[in-house]
A = this chain, B = another copy of it.
């Protein structure tokens, strides 16, 4: 999940300024992912990133500006990861299975959950004005799945009567909900069941097979 820290960098920053801002952002994202938004304070962030209070204040004058930048940073990482070659643009069931396999094999999945989803859950009831940023990121995420399913239809791999929008909403919901249940249970099984169940449902729309009898085994 490599990504740059370039999201929303004000154009006037020097190279050194961008590097400092990027370092703060990286540590803020990590702290927030591990401990949550509310438990992350300026003092911890300054120490982790090795910056002064005035530097922190210069790049992120408010908590809202910091959280917005962390959303953009996490969204960029999640989207870039989903667009990486390993998932072949989700143009086949194998791409979706590779995706499920990645997250169910990844121990931190059921410790800290989805980097973007858990952040969204935590701040959605707060007064932080981050609605558009969050909604835009999740729209792009479902679009990646939907575009893959549309491509599967074009390639004749998915029935014409399958609804790519509906299926992509189910896939992302299964992922987000499965992540939450896995965190609560401290066990990967609910996530496995949700992801492979959703993918097996997509499989019932594949043209090459009846679907029902070749369900993927949980890994």
A interface with B by C-beta (< 8 Å) = 34-36, 38-39, 112-113, 117-118, 120-122, 124-127, 131, 134-135, 138-139, 142, 165-167, 169-170, 172-181, 183-186, 189-191, 193-194, 196-198, 200-201, 204-205, 211-212, 218
Given A36-B125, A38-B38, A135-B186: A194 in contact with B181 (beta carbons within 8 A): no
Expressed in whole angstroms, the minimum distance between the Cβ of A209 and any Cβ of chain B is: 12
Q: Using A122-B122, A126-B36 as known contacts, say yes or no to A169 and B194 having CB atoms under 8 A apart.
A: yes
Contacts of A176 in B (CB 8 A): 173, 176-177, 180-181
Q: List 21 A-B contacts (CB under 8 A).
A: A36-B125, A39-B125, A113-B124, A118-B124, A120-B184, A142-B181, A166-B197, A169-B189, A169-B197, A170-B174, A170-B193, A172-B181, A173-B173, A173-B178, A174-B174, A176-B176, A176-B177, A177-B179, A180-B180, A204-B211, A205-B212
Tell me the minimal C-beta distance from A201 to chain B in angstroms: 4
Alpha-carbon gap, A177 to B125, bound state (A): 16
Interfacial chain B residues near A117, Cβ < 8 Å? 177, 180
* A172 vs B185: C-alpha distance when bound (angstroms): 13
Per a CB cutoff under 8 Å, which of B36, B131, B193 touches A166?
Answer: B193
For the A-B complex with A35-B125, A124-B180, A135-B185 known, give 18 more contacts whose Cβ atoms are closer than 8 Å.
Answer: A36-B126, A113-B124, A117-B177, A120-B184, A122-B122, A135-B184, A135-B186, A138-B181, A142-B190, A165-B193, A169-B181, A172-B177, A173-B190, A176-B176, A180-B180, A197-B198, A201-B204, A204-B204
Tell whether, in the assembled complex, residue A173 and residue B174 are in contact, meaning their CB atoms are under 8 Å apart.
yes
Q: In chain B, what residue has the closest Cβ to A139? A: B185
